[in-house]
């Protein structure tokens, strides 16, 4: 029975994933490769809104994903206090939790399979009105199940890290972008920070909420990195 990659190998896998993410983000020739992952990030973002609605007693009618990377979730009821920030913060939380599961708790195979199944079920329940969202969810879900079932553990860990880093960092950068331009739509009629300021706290500018969300997103990712990599390395160096 194969075991999970040791700490040093996991560290190299994370560094490789970071390099790959950096290349995908910064080399225009790889835009076609990056596009499916951008759509995946949008999928997670809109799922965050919908999940927050369900958790606060509302309804989640479904969501759409557009080919330009934008999306929209349709909710009814629930708490706007939770629903509106849950797109960016939910994506950051998703990235942080996935990073931790892949690098600290050593459950890459079951994580891939369960995540894949979750994406498929979520797509069938809430993405039926959007062909592209349905394709994104079903495609990524199927690939993840296949990775968890058959792929080399190192490859499995690498893919989970790429998804975690892309989703988590994209959430941070998107929110940070709103800090500088709170009127930016990011492909929607109103961005989440502007909507939150108008509907929940009109006395506080949208840029302030965007800044606070970015701080929370960075904090979540920082905790994941500390718990998953920095702390184990310090323990190893100290002989713990």
* pTM beyond cutoff 0.75: yes
Q: Is the pLDDT of residue 237 over 90?
A: no
With a pLDDT cut of 90, the percent of the chain lying above it is: 60
- Supply the pLDDT for residue 170: 82
- Supply the pLDDT for residue 191: 80
Average model confidence (pLDDT) across the chain: 88
Mean pLDDT of 210-219: 88
pLDDT confidence bin for 5, thresholds 50/70/90: low
Mean pLDDT of 198-216: 88
User: What is the rounded distance in angstroms from the CA atom of residue 229 to the CA atom of residue 235?
Assistant: 10
Q: Which of 7-11, 129-133, 176-180, 231-235 has the highest mean pLDDT?
A: 129-133
Q: Is the pLDDT of residue 187 over 60?
A: no
Q: Measuring CA to CA, how many Å separate 105 from each of 5, 16, 228? A: 11, 20, 8
- Supply the pLDDT for residue 232: 87
Mean pLDDT of 146-159: 91
- Supply the pLDDT for residue 197: 86
Q: Measuring CA to CA, how many Å separate 197 from each of 3, 181, 190, 204, 206? A: 49, 14, 11, 6, 5
pLDDT confidence bin for 20, thresholds 50/70/90: very high
Please state the three-class secondary structure of 86-107 as a single string: HHHHHHHHHHHHHHHHHHCCCC
User: What is the rounded distance in angstroms from the CA atom of residue 7 to the CA atom of residue 57?
Assistant: 42
Q: Is the pLDDT of residue 140 over 70?
A: yes
Query: In the structure encoding, which two tokens stand for residue 69, read together?
Result: 């990377």
Q: Is the pLDDT of residue 234 over 60?
A: yes
Mean pLDDT of 219-232: 91
């Amino acid at each position: 029975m194969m075991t999970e990659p040791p700490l040093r190998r996991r560290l190299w896998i994370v560094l490789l994933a970071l390099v790959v993410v950096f290349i995908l983000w910064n080399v225009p020739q790889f835009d076609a490769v990056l596009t499916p992952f951008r759509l995946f990030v949008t999928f997670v973002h809109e799922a965050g809104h919908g999940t927050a609605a369900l958790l606060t007693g509302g309804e989640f009618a479904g969501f759409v994903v557009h080919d330009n990377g934008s999306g929209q979730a349709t909710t009814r009821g629930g708490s706007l206090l939770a629903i509106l920030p849950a797109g960016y913060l939910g994506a950051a939380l998703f990235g942080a939790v996935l990073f931790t599961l892949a690098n600290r708790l050593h459950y890459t195979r079951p994580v891939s399979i369960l995540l894949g199944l979750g994406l498929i079920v979520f797509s069938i329940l809430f993405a039926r009105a959007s062909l592209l969202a349905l394709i994104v969810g079903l495609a990524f879900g199927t690939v993840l199940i296949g990775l968890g079932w058959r792929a080399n553990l190192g490859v499995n860990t690498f893919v989970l890290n790429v998804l975690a880093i892309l989703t988590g960092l994209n959430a941070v950068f998107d929110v940070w972008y709103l800090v500088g331009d709170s009127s930016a739509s990011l492909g929607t009629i109103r961005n989440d920070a502007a909507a939150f300021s108008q509907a929940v706290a009109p006395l506080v500018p949208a840029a302030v909420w965007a800044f606070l969300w970015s701080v929370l997103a960075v904090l979540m990712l920082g905790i994941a990195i500390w718990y998953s990599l920095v702390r184990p390395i310090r323990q190893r160096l100290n002989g713990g």
